[in-house]
Amino acid sequence: MVTTDYTHTAASGTADQRLRVVLLLDVHEGQEQNFLAAYDQICHQVANVPGHISDQLCQSLGNSSQWLITSEWESAEPFLSWVDSAAHRALVQPMHDCVADTRSLRFVIERQTPATLPPPGGSVAAAPAGQTAVHASPAQRPASTDPLPRPPLSSGGLVRHAITFTVTPGSEDKVARILADYASPQARVDATTRLCRTSLFMRGNRVVRAVEVKGDLGNALRHVAQQPEVRQVEEAVNPYLEESRDLTDPASARAFFARAALPAVFHAGDPRADTAAEVTRHAFLYPVRPGQGAAVARLLGEQDHEAATDPANPLVQSTMFTSDGLFLRLVDLSRPYQDVPVPASGITPQVAERLLPLFDPAGPAVGVDGSALVRFLAECEMSLVTDRVAPAS
């Protein structure tokens, strides 16, 4: 229900898959009633959020301070729009004041047992009064699980996520130097998790840091935050932030990562090819209307999925990230984007017509021909500050 991790959708439309959110909490002794009151208030509010299906609160059988909250959503998009809002952060603050630690996990529902599935042995429960029980023959019975489209975010074993924040106007050059000049943290997090790549971009006073992790994203982010070299950089950047933070304070850190989250919603391509010497990485901020990020990702993904599977195409891979009012397109290309604007942008003439209602008319104009697309990309391009790839082992 709270905090931030990631979600992912495929070009085939997995943005429409239901989302299960799991939140583990350790409640302070003596704060149980305040915690329950805060939960009741959140439930009252979230019940009216479009896309929300249900919530459940559970207490540990063996440890009374441990609680579990689960919620179900029609898809990732309404959940992310709500959880990243200022109204949500204000609403959950009383609950955070009652807890010592939280951990948020998000899962796209991939398979579920059908309601009509008979138990082992072929028998079914008695039908309610007035109804006739239907016994399916072996040939008619559904499979043991009901398959749903597979969420592909772990393609190549990599999890992708980004965070974004703004700095005070006039401080951009100082911040860029700070963020470019630091020692890389240790890549190995634990036996199953390691940092693979960090790409940092700026456009105007906006900063975007995109990360690729093999294993558990939450473990990786906590590992990075504890590294002395990273702490030093973050402290040096703090005076220039438009919205203050204190990463040494758990509540402030949670609030920062909640509002800074820019989750990945699409990926296509071969991650093994992205570090080749002739491949370059680019990031573009597209002028997408709030709430339309998933729709834009699906449209562009139709082109990217086909392009990235063609060895002759200059698009090696693409990842798209979106949050309310922001849409980031990250691409790895084997040629300069000015020479290949269509695969670089994902925008064909047919797609351009469908994108127009989804784009902010006050932003850069979407082009159709090559020269117009180059101008569009140039206006959306972010400057690369640093791109760090961890050693293979």
The more confidently predicted of residues 238 and 323 is: 238
How far apart are alpha carbons 8 and 25 in whole angstroms?
24
Residues 173-186 have a mean pLDDT of 89
Task: Give yes or no on whether 18-109 and 263-384 have one common fold.
Answer: yes
Residues 268-287 have a mean pLDDT of 79
Query: Tens digits of per-residue pLDDT, 90-145?
Result: 888 888 889 987 888 888 887 777 654 445 444 434 333 333 333 333 333 333 33
Residues 286-309 have a mean pLDDT of 91
Q: Looking at this protein, which amino acid is placed at residue 201?
A: F
Q: What pLDDT score was predicted for residue 277? A: 62
The more confidently predicted of residues 163 and 127 is: 163
Q: What pLDDT score was predicted for residue 92? A: 87
Q: What pLDDT score was predicted for residue 144? A: 32
pLDDT band at 280 (very low <50, low <70, confident <90, very high): very high
Quick one: how far is CA 221 from the chain centroid? 14
- Is 83:255 a contact under the CB 8 Å cutoff? no
DSSP 361: T
Q: What pLDDT score was predicted for residue 132? A: 32
How far apart are alpha carbons 130 and 300 in whole angstroms?
52
Q: Looking at this protein, which amino acid is placed at residue 203?
A: R
How far apart are alpha carbons 267 and 143 in whole angstroms?
30
pLDDT band at 200 (very low <50, low <70, confident <90, very high): very high
Question: What's the token pair of residue 20?
Answer: 């299960």
Query: Tens digits of per-residue pLDDT, 244-260?
Result: 888 878 777 778 877 88
**Fold topology of 18-109:** Alpha-Beta Plaits (3.30.70)
Which phi and psi angles does 21 have, rounded to 5°?
-110, 130
How do beta strands 52-59 and 19-27 pair?
A: unpaired
- Is 18:108 a contact under the CB 8 Å cutoff? yes
Query: Tens digits of per-residue pLDDT, 317-336?
Result: 999 999 878 999 999 999 99
Mean pLDDT is highest, among 96-100, 193-197, 237-241, for: 237-241
How far apart are alpha carbons 146 and 133 in whole angstroms?
21
Q: Residue 312 contacts by C-beta under 8 Å, 6 or more apart in sequence?
A: none
- Is 355:296 a contact under the CB 8 Å cutoff? yes
The more confidently predicted of residues 200 and 28 is: 200
Domain residue extents for the chain: 18-109, 263-384
How far apart are alpha carbons 225 and 185 in whole angstroms?
10
How do beta strands 315-323 and 383-389 pair?
A: unpaired
Task: Give the CATH number of domain 263-384; options: 3.40.50.360, 2.40.50.1020, 3.30.70.1090, 3.40.190.10.
Answer: 3.30.70.1090
Q: Looking at this protein, which amino acid is placed at residue 300?
A: L
How do beta strands 158-166 and 111-112 pair?
A: unpaired
Which phi and psi angles does 20 have, rounded to 5°?
-110, 125
The more confidently predicted of residues 306 and 253 is: 306
Place of tokens 């630091």: 182
Q: What is the mean pLDDT of the chain?
A: 80
Q: What pLDDT score was predicted for residue 103? A: 83
Q: What pLDDT score was predicted for residue 133? A: 33
How far apart are alpha carbons 302 and 307 in whole angstroms?
9
Inform me whether the pLDDT recorded for 272 exceeds 60.
no
> What is the per-residue DSSP string for 130-156?
T-------TTTSPPSSEE-PPP-TTGG
SS3 category, 69: strand
